C-alpha cells in the first residue's frame, strides 16, 4: 500500500503495546482499516521491558531452584550454575521470537504498522515523525482517522533526588538489558516488579535487601498473603525492611558501589551498602508530548479521564486505554480496555469494566495471584465477609510437586455468598487464578465454585477446597 | 469409643477410597455419626494404587526431562541420572504422608475408621471380618446403620488368557511396588494408565512399545488431541502400534522376557520381545462378595445401578458411588458422587450429576486435560458445533516455559455458543481445565469465557484465545 492510499484510516492506534495491538487486531477483524503507530518496535513495555523478559529470566531461576532440589525427587545431578549471559540471551531470543509473531499477526490482519513519534492535532489528525528501524529520523507523515485510540503506555520513574545512572542506580529497563548479576543489590519498592527482581537475583546468588515504605511487602495484596510472602522471602535469605525510611537524595554511588542510610520508621538509620540499587517505585504515564492539549480530553495528575465502558475521552472520536488511564497498569487489562474501545467504536454492546474482576499475577517464588477485594478492603467498604482458607499442604499435588508453601484464601459476602476476592500464594498460582476470574465474571457464589469438579490430583483443588471452606465444608482440610 | 456404643451409626460407608472418605467427612460435618470401613488402609486405589503414586513418579520424570533441557535455560549442569529406588522411595513417602493426613482428618471429623472386610446383610446391617494393621484376621463385628454407602472401588484386570505373574507380565499394582525400570516394556492399552507409564519409563531410558486395539491412542479423547499425542510420543522415541492385534493367550513369559506376535489389523504379525509387559486394559468393579445379593440393589454387568442425583440403589437406605457404578472411574468423580449421596441422605437439595461436566486429566508429557464432548461425539449426537483451536506456540508463557507443543480446542454449539467441550494437550494443562469445569457448570458461552480476563503471561490464556477463536476473534493467533 502506498503512502497516499493509506493516509486515511478508519482507526489509528497510537502505541503498539499489548492494549494497542489488541485494539488494532480486533478492529481489523471487524473490517476497519487500521494504522498502528509506535516509536519503538511492536510489543510495548510488556514485551520489551516488562512481563515477557522478566518472566523469561524468572523461568530460568525457577528451573535452577528445582534442579537444586533434584535429589529430593530421586534424580542424581551435579550442582547447577546459572550462566547469566546465556539466561539473558534466551530472554532476548524469546522477546525477538514474540516480536516476529506479532509482526506476522500485523500482516495477517492487514494492519499498517508505522514506526514513528505520533502527535495528536485534534482527535483525528495525527502527525508522525517517522523513524527507521534503527530509530533514526525518516521523514514525516500525516494520518487522518475516523477514530483514534491513544495507548502510549508508561515509563519507569524514580524517587525525587534519586537519579538512575544505569550502572549503580538502575531501573528495570537497565536490568532487562543486563547480562550479569551484582554481588549485592538493594531493591527499593516491594511491589510486583521489585519483588520479582529480588526473587530472581536471590536465586542467582546475589545478596538482596528489599526496602519498602509501607508496613508490608506487596502492599496491594491481602495482608495474609503479604505476611506469607515476607516469611517465604526471609526464609530464602532475602533481607526485608518494611516501614523503611531513607533520603533518596542522600544515596551515594561511586566505584565502590551504593551507600545509603536506612532504618525502619522511628528507628535509627544504619548504613546499607550494595553493588547496585534498583529503583522499583512505580511508573509514569506517557501523556506528555502526545498532543493531548490540542483536544478536549481531560488529563488529571498525568492520567487521561475516560468513560469506564467505552474508553472515550471528553474529545469526540478520541479514546484512551492502558497505563495512561491509570488503574491496574497491567497488560491484560490494557488489552481488554482496547477491545472495549473498539467494540464501542464499532457500535457493539460494551459493559463497564469492573476492575475488581481483573486478576493480578506476581511471578516471584512463591508466586502470588489474586483477584477482587482484599479482606481489609471489604472491611473498609463495610462489606460483611466470610473467609475460607486452605493451605497447599492439604493438596496432594502440592506434596507431589514438592512445594507445599502458601494457601488459597476465598472471601465471600457473608449474606449472599458471592465471591468478593480470591487470594493465592504458592507454586504455579498464576495459572490457577483464571478460574477465579471466570467465576467472578459469572458472579458465582463460593458454594457454586466449590461444587465445580476440580480434577484430582491438581493444584487447582486448592480453590475448590477453599471455596468449600467458606461454609466449613472442605473435604481435605 | 467402645465397641458397644459405636455399633450403631447414622451412616456406614464401606470403602475408604476418595469417594468413601469424602462422603464420610461430609456426613460428619452435617452431624451424623459415621463408620468408615475398609479392608486396607484409608485412601483407596487413588492414594495407594493410582493417582498419587503414579503422579509422584511422573513428577520425578518431568523434572528429569526439564534438567535434560537446562542448558536451553542458561543453566550449566551435568547429565542427570534417575535413581529408581530413590524415586520409588519418594513415591512411597508421599503416599505415607497423605495417608497420615487422612487419618488426622478422620480424627478431626470423629469418624470411626474400621479395618476389615465388610459384607452387607441387607442395607443396614454390615458384617465386618476385622483385620489388624498387618491385614491378619482380628475377630468380627456387626454394625447397624440408618443409611449405608457402598464405595468398594475397583481392581486391575487383565485380558482373557493373559495372567499377570508380577514379574514379566505386570499390572499397575506391580509397578507401583517396584523400584526398578525394565530395559524394554510393552504397554498393552493406550488409555490414561498405559500412556502415563509409557511416558514415565521412556524418560527412565526404557524402550517402550504401546499396543492399542483402537485406531488411536487415548481413544476417549478428541481425535485431534489423540493425533497430537501420538505425534509427541513418537517424537520421544516411544513406539506406538494402533489397531494392534495379538492373541493374549499366546503371550509367553520366561527368563528371557516376554514374547508375543503382534501386527496392525489386516497386517502380518511380527514377533515383539521385551523384558516386561504391562497390562493396562481397564479395571473391574468390586461388586462381588460384598453381599449385594442380600439387597434389592440392581447389579448389571458387575455395576450397581443408582439414581444419577441421589446415588440411591433400588434398596432403601443403600447408596452406591465411585467405580462400582461405572461412569468415569475417577477419584474426583467418586468424591462428588459421595457428597451427593450424603446430601440426599441429609435431605439437602441434590442435582443430577452431569458426567459431561466432569474434567479428565492425563499426566503424560504432554499432558491431556479435557471436559465435555469430543467433536466426534457432537457429530454423533447431531449437535451443530463450531470449533476454536489455538496452539501453545501462540502463547507467550509457553514460549517462556520452553514447551510450545499442543493446543486448546474449544467446541461450542453453533447456534447458542454454549460450550460443549474443551480439549487441551500441552504442558501443565491439567491445571487449566478447572476454569473450563467452572465455565461448563455455569453453562457459559464460548464468548463469555473469552471475555473473562486471563492474566498475562500465563498458559491459561490459551483458553481465552481458543474461546475467542470460536468466533474468529482471537487476538494472539
What pLDDT digit, counting tens, does each position of B332-366 carry? 999 999 999 999 999 999 999 999 999 999 999 99
Q: Do A82 and B74 touch (CB under 8 A)?
A: yes
Instruction: Output phi, psi for A184, to 5 deg.
Output: -145, 150
Per-residue pLDDT for B380 more than 80? yes
> B318 is written with which cell numbers?
443403600
pLDDT for A140 equals: 95
Mean pLDDT of B256-280: 97
Chain A partners within 8 Å of B400 (Cβ): 52, 55-56, 59, 94
Q: How many CB pairs under 8 A join A and B?
A: 274
Domain co-membership, B231 together with B210: yes
Percent of chain B with pLDDT over 90: 98
Q: What is the CATH number of the domain that holds A421?
A: 3.30.390.30
Lowest mean pLDDT among A3-7, A176-180, A248-252, A288-292: A3-7
* A360 in any annotated domain: no
Question: Which one, of A103, A129, A141, lies nearest residue A9 by Cα?
Answer: A141
Who among B75, B86, B457 is closest to A80 (CB)? B75
Q: Does B289 touch chain A (CB under 8 A)?
A: no
How much is the average pLDDT of B206-215? 98
Residues A291 and A277 placed together within one structural domain of the fold = no
Report if pTM > 0.95: yes
CB contact under 8 A, B441 and A452: yes
Closest chain A C-alpha to B319 CA, distance in angstroms: 20
Which residues on chain B are in Cβ contact (under 8 Å) with A85?
74
B window 70-99, beta carbon within 8 A of A: 70-90, 94, 97-98
Q: How far B194 CA sits from the closest chain A CA (Å)?
A: 18
Q: Decide: residue A68, CB within 10 A, 0-12 exposed, 13-18 middle, 19+ buried.
A: middle
Give residue-wise pLDDT tens across range B16-68. 999 999 999 999 999 999 999 999 999 999 999 999 999 999 999 999 999 99
pLDDT tier at B6, thresholds 50, 70, 90: low
Q: A51 — contact with chain B (CB < 8 Å)? A: yes
Query: Is the model's pLDDT at A76 over the cut of 70?
Result: yes
Examine the domain organization and report whether A25 and A140 are in the same domain.
yes
**0.90 surpassed by complex ipTM:** yes
Q: Does B298 touch chain A (CB under 8 A)?
A: no
**Interface probe, candidates B50, B75, B92, chain A, greatest A C-beta count within 10 A:** B75
| Tens of pLDDT, residues A104-143 | 999 999 999 999 999 999 999 999 999 999 989 999 999 9
Say yes or no: B326 and B387 in one domain. no
Q: For A300-343, write each residue's pLDDT tens digit.
A: 999 999 999 999 999 999 999 999 999 899 999 999 999 999 99
Domains: count for chain A: 3
Mean pLDDT of B97-123: 98
Mean pLDDT, range B218-245, rounded to an integer: 98
Q: Please report the beta strands in A291-415, taking only residues with DSSP state E, as ranges in sequence order.
A: 299-300, 303-304, 318-320, 360-362, 367-372, 385-391, 407-413
- List B residues 100-159 in contact with A (Cβ-Cβ < 8 A): 101, 105
| Residue in B18, B73, B101 closest to A63 by CB | B73
Judgement on whether residues A92 and A128 belong to the same structural domain of the protein: yes
Q: How far is B299 from chain A (nearest CA, A)?
A: 27
* B97/B52 Cα distance (integer angstroms): 11
Domain boundary, last residue among A281, A305, A324: A281
Chain A neighbors of B369, CB-CB under 8 A: 455
In this structure, are A150 and A294 located in the same domain?
A: yes
Q: Is residue A210 domain-shared with residue A239, that is, in the same domain?
A: yes
Please give the Cα distance from B105 to A475 (Å, whole number): 9
Residue B475 within any structural domain of the chain: no
Q: Is residue A68 part of a domain?
A: no
Same domain as B273, residue B295 = no
Where residue B336 sits, what CATH number does that domain have?
3.50.50.60
Residues B250 and B217 in one domain: yes
For A184-243, what is each residue's pLDDT tens digit? 999 999 999 999 999 999 999 999 999 999 999 999 999 999 999 999 999 999 999 999
Residue A2 has pLDDT above 60, yes or no: no
For B23, name the nearest residue in chain A, comparing CA atoms only.
A475
A74: in domain = no
Instruction: Provide the pLDDT confidence category of residue A6 given band limits of 50, 70 and 90.
Output: low
Q: Is the pLDDT of residue B233 over 80?
A: yes
- Note the pLDDT tens digit of each residue in B400-423: 999 999 999 999 999 999 999 999
Q: What is the CA radius of gyration of chain A?
A: 24
3-state secondary structure of A22: helix
Among A78, A90, A430, select the one facing B77 at the smallest CB separation: A78
Range(s) of the domain holding residue B188: 169-281
Q: Is residue B380 part of a domain?
A: yes
pLDDT at B3: 46
For residue range A407-429, list pLDDT tens digits in order. Answer: 999 999 999 999 999 999 999 99
Q: What is the pLDDT at residue A53?
A: 98
Tell whether A389 is covered by a domain.
yes
Both A15 and A141 in one domain: the answer is yes
- CB–CB of A46 and B361 under 8 A? no
Of B73, B452, B463, the CB nearest to A60: B73
Contact B90 A82 (CB under 8 A): no
What is d(CA A250, CA A266) in angstroms, rounded to the nearest whole number? Answer: 18
pLDDT score for B84: 98
Q: Do A66 and B66 make contact, defined as CB atoms within 8 angstroms? A: yes
Residue B174 known to be catalytic: no
A73 pLDDT above the threshold of 70: yes
Mean pLDDT of all residues in A434-448: 96
Asked if the Cβ–Cβ distance from B437 to A449 is below 8 Å, we say no
Amino acid at each position: 500500500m502506498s503512502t497516499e492510499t493509506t493516509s486515511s484510516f478508519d482507526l489509528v492506534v497510537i502505541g503498539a503495546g499489548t492494549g494497542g495491538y489488541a485494539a488494532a487486531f480486533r478492529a481489523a477483524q471487524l473490517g476497519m482499516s487500521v494504522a498502528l503507530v509506535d516509536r519503538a518496535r511492536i510489543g510495548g513495555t510488556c514485551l520489551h521491558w516488562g512481563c515477557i523478559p522478566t518472566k523469561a529470566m524468572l523461568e530460568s531461576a525457577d528451573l535452577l531452584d528445582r534442579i537444586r532440589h533434584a535429589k529430593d525427587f530421586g534424580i542424581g545431578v551435579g550442582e547447577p550454575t546459572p550462566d547469566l549471559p546465556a539466561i539473558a540471551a534466551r530472554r532476548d531470543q524469546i522477546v525477538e521470537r514474540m516480536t516476529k509473531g506479532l509482526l506476522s499477526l500485523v500482516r495477517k490482519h492487514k494492519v499498517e504498522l508505522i514506526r514513528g513519534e505520533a502527535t495528536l492535532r485534534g482527535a483525528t489528525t495525527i502527525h508522525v515523525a517517522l523513524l527507521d528501524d534503527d530509530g533514526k529520523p525518516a521523514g514525516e507523515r500525516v494520518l487522518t482517522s475516523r477514530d483514534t485510540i491513544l495507548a502510549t503506555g508508561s515509563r519507569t520513574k524514580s524517587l525525587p533526588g534519586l537519579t538512575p545512572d544505569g550502572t549503580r542506580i538502575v531501573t528495570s529497563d537497565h536490568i532487562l538489558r543486563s547480562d550479569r548479576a551484582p554481588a549485592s543489590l538493594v531493591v527499593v519498592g516491594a511491589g510486583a516488579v521489585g519483588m520479582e527482581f529480588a526473587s530472581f537475583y536471590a536465586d542467582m546468588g546475589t545478596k538482596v535487601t528489599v526496602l519498602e515504605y509501607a508496613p508490608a511487602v506487596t502492599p496491594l495484596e491481602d495482608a495474609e498473603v503479604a505476611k506469607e510472602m515476607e516469611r517465604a522471602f526471609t526464609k530464602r535469605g532475602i533481607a526485608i525492611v518494611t516501614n523503611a525510611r531513607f533520603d533518596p537524595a542522600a544515596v551515594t554511588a561511586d566505584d565502590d558501589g551504593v551507600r545509603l542510610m536506612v532504618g525502619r520508621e522511628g528507628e535509627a538509620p544504619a548504613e546499607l551498602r550494595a553493588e547496585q540499587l534498583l529503583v522499583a517505585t512505580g511508573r509514569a504515564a506517557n501523556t506528555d508530548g502526545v498532543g493531548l492539549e490540542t483536544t478536549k480530553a481531560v488529563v488529571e495528575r498525568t492520567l487521561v479521564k475516560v468513560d469506564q465502558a467505552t474508553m472515550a475521552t471528553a474529545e469526540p472520536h478520541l479514546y484512551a486505554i492502558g497505563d495512561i488511564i491509570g488503574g491496574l497498569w497491567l497488560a491484560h487489562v490494557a488489552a481488554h480496555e482496547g477491545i472495549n474501545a473498539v467494540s464501542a467504536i464499532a457500535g457493539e454492546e460494551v459493559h463497564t469494566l469492573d476492575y475488581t474482576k481483573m486478576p493480578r499475577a506476581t511471578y516471584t517464588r512463591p508466586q502470588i495471584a489474586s483477584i477482587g477485594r482484599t479482606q481489609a478492603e471489604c472491611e473498609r467498604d463495610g462489606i460483611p465477609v466470610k473467609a475460607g482458607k486452605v493451605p497447599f499442604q492439604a493438596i496432594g499435588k502440592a506434596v507431589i510437586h514438592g512445594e507445599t508453601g502458601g494457601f488459597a484464601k476465598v472471601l465471600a459476602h457473608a449474606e449472599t455468598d458471592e465471591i468478593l476476592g480470591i487470594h493465592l500464594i504458592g507454586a504455579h498460582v498464576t495459572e490457577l487464578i483464571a478460574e477465579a476470574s471466570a467465576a467472578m465474571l459469572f458472579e458465582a457464589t463460593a458454594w457454586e465454585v466449590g461444587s465445580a469438579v476440580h480434577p484430582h490430583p491438581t493444584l487447582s483443588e486448592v480453590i475448590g477446597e477453599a471455596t468449600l471452606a467458606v461454609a466449613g465444608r472442605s473435604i481435605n482440610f
